[in-house]
Amino acid sequence: MPRSKKPGPVTARRYIIQGRVQGVGYRYFAEGVAEEVGVAGWARNLDDGSVEIYAVGTAEQLSALAGYLWRGPRGADVRAVQELEALVQELSDFRIEYFS
């Protein structure tokens, strides 16, 4: 029986996605992709029309997520994905956040 691979150390990233990314289901797309690659975090719209994503996972998981973020859902036109280091927060799932 093959041994399961141990996950690497956990790290966190913030992504700022620019382009036509609001009103096209981008946050829901990010939520589905995050669940698929196994990262926790959140996605929210920003006032300037961009989307911010915070994600916690291994370097491999975050790299996979970043590749999907560049693609986006049908209808999106991703022009830039800024990746920033972030402090690790203890989160158990990925969710969409809304401003109140």
Q: Which residues pair with 40 in a beta bridge?
A: 56
Taking the C-alpha atoms of residue 28 and residue 1, their distance in angstroms, rounded to an integer, is 37
Q: What CATH number was assigned to the domain covering residues 19-89?
A: 3.30.70.100
77's enclosing H/E stretch is strand 77-86
The β-bridge relationship of strands 51-57 and 77-86 is unpaired
pTM greater than 0.85 (yes/no): yes
The pLDDT value recorded for residue 51 is 98
Over residues 29-82, the pLDDT tens digits come to: 999 999 999 999 999 999 999 999 999 999 999 999 999 999 999 999 999 999
Catalytic residues: 27, 45
